[in-house]
Amino acid sequence: MTILSIEDTSDDDDVVPLDHQAIEADIVLGARAYQKLMNHAADDWASWSAVILGMRGLRSLAFERSGTSDIASWHYRQTLAHLMTLKKYAIYDQIGKQTRSTCYKLMDSIDEINDWYAGLPAQDKLRWKHPDAIAKHAPKHLVQGGKGSNQPKKAKPAVKKPLVSAEIERLRQLLLVVIRRLAVHEPDAMKLLDEVMPAAAADPNDELEDL
């Protein structure tokens, strides 16, 4: 049996050399773009938080004008619908039904949710921007509000927790880079990650969300 060999008939002269200058430029631009994303990871949620706070204000007006604090009541629904026909509130009527429902769940604990979100690693902030994502990942006891009742509970004075400032978050990300570089020569340095990012362990079953 004769085995035919397949010769490489490619012509080396036809190989186009890499444009290293263009490639390096793409890499630099990509690094800068990702750094910008990291630095502004929480911007989208900050806007949604303001939207939810505005919706809570509309709910308060509807409670007052309808004489009920039950969002399932006919009077409340009619009052809220009327408010959203007014020009200054009409933009809220453009929020989708599902998103609006989720915002209701978050509005009674929005301050606590903001505090929780501020302490998240930047990677999670990049993934969790929409109210639906926040409702899925936030502590469950913070996602049970919004329904109201005929006998509203007296509001308890909110205890403000210190927010993680943008500067602290920036320094923490810088420290992570330093630790990882140090670990190249000192592997034990990776143990420091648990102290810098104690809540950095992610759910391995969590899929990246396009929210």
Provide the residue ranges of all domains of the chain, joining segments of one domain with +.
40-149, 165-201
Q: Which of 48, 56, 34 is nearest to 138 (CA)?
A: 48
Give the orientation angle of helix 110-118 with respect to helix 97-107, to 10 degrees. Answer: 90
pLDDT at position 48 is 94
pLDDT at position 205 is 39
pLDDT at position 35 is 85
pLDDT at position 97 is 93
pLDDT at position 148 is 61
CB 143 within 8 A of CB 108: no
Q: Which of 136, 72, 71 is nearest to 102 (CA)?
A: 136
pLDDT at position 98 is 94
Structure tokens at 109: 């604990």
Instruction: Pick out the chain residues at pLDDT < 50.
Output: 4-6, 149-155, 199-211
Say which residue the tokens 């900050």 belong to: 46
